[in-house]
Amino acid sequence: MDDLSISPIYDTPANRYLNAAAHRLSCGNMLATYKRHGFHWDAEQFEEKWQDNKNFAVRLNGEWIGFISLKSLNDMVYLRDLQLVAQWQRRGIGSTCLSWLIDCLSKRQPHDTLLRLRAFSDSPAIALYERHGFVRLEEPFTPTRAGGIIAMQRKVKTGARAMTSSEMSSPPLRHDAIAESSAASLQ
């Protein structure tokens, strides 16, 4: 079985290459969609949000294949980005990443939490989100040239305490044992 690991990306000189790789991956995956919807890619905005978010590297057998970017707000966690290298899309890895995130939140938040995201209305990822319990919200909807941007969310039933940054520093998670290892890997 392949080893899938999800681990924090700390802002260190050794990890700066991951910032650049994440930018290239996100731009490469999203540029055509942005153009179709009437937007332009803003490298400065990506960098600002990257610095402001909690970012995680997704690796398969030690090879970097994508990232997860989160923003914690008062009463919710916002999934800013989940990007995978094209050859690893539609192979269950995005689903495993969402399961990991939901499991982490359910074990570490002090109260029920909303997990929210926004997606282009024609994104194939919407089906993935719906399989993981996300529902489309009526508002806010942002119309675009090719449809719109929708908001989606799901409630995560949670445990007794919040996850700290140090708890999110996790050793690699085994793809075949993610449910069992998520809680232990965050301690």
Q: Which helix (H) or strand (E) holds 76?
A: strand 76-84
Residue 180's pLDDT band, with cuts at 50, 70 and 90, is: very low
Q: How far apart are CA 101 and CA 114, in angstroms?
A: 12
Residue-wise pLDDT for 105-120, tens only, equals: 888 776 788 999 999 9
Going from the N-terminus, what domains does the chain have, and what CATH number goes with each? 4-185 (3.40.630.30)
Give the global pTM.
Answer: 0.81
User: Which among 49, 44, 56 is positioned nearest to 104, based on CA atoms?
Assistant: 56
